Amino acid sequence: MRVLVIEDEPDLAASLGRSLRDEGYAVDTAFDGEDGLFRAESIDYDAILLDVMLPKLNGWQVLERLRRSKKTPVLMLTARDTSGDRVRGLDGGADDYLVKPFDLAELLARLRALIRRTSGCASSLIEAGTVCIDTVARTVTQAGQPVALTPREYCLLEFLALHRGEVVTRTTLYEHLFDEDDSTLSNLLDVHVSNLRRKLGSDVITTRRGHGYCVEG
């Protein structure tokens, strides 16, 4: 999952980036509204964390302009806590709203829920054959036995499973799993796929030659 953080406070932006990467997210950061909007329009992020008080364009303006072309889920971050602001955010097309200072665990939980809802998954459990993914605990079992995955392996499996039954192209996977700071070698994706196959069995992820990868529905 790839997330865009639009936040002008460098310390907060950096700590959010670290925490999200620890969870296996790919993270891009923008420090003002104009740059944030540009990135949000250029790339299909899985979610955007959007601060309200920003230089150049504020969070409301970014949201309003973004919604003209994209439905990317947006979690607004704001210092204010008035119901008027909340209504304005949700009316303006924000998908969720968190007041600063927020609890990091809560932010991560809301983000997971947001991404899950957007992909049309009502339940926090995804089952694909004998593999079961708990998207809240971020754990995977196969035939009831826990399987230890790295955060990146988990994210790759979760992304494919959220789109199960569909062929997901390598381009899409690169766009959603790696951020612009990742020095990716072209075969890195294959390494993660082959690690997942080693841990879960070769039939969990199917290769569609020339198209991409698929977790069967």
Q: For binding to Ca ion (CB under 5 A), which residues are involved?
A: 8, 51, 53
Concatenated DSSP letters of 115-143: HHHHTT--SSEEEETTEEEETTTTEEEET
Angle between helices 10-22 and 104-118 (to 10 degrees): 60
- State the minimum distance, in angstroms, from the CB of residue 217 to Ca ion: 42
At a CB cut-off of 8 Å and minimum separation 6, what does 38 contact? 30
- State the minimum distance, in angstroms, from the CB of residue 59 to Ca ion: 8
Angle, alpha carbons 121-109-181 (nearest 5°): 95
Closest CA to 188 of 200, 207, 173, 205: 173
Identity of the residue, 62 or 126, whose beta carbon is nearer to Ca ion in the bound complex: 62
- State the minimum distance, in angstroms, from the CB of residue 58 to Ca ion: 9
Identity of the residue, 52 or 147, whose beta carbon is nearer to Ca ion in the bound complex: 52
Identity of the residue, 53 or 188, whose beta carbon is nearer to Ca ion in the bound complex: 53
Closest residue to Ca ion in the complex (CB): 53
Identity of the residue, 48 or 115, whose beta carbon is nearer to Ca ion in the bound complex: 48
What is the torsional sign of CA 173, 175, 179, 181?
positive
- State the minimum distance, in angstroms, from the CB of residue 115 to Ca ion: 23
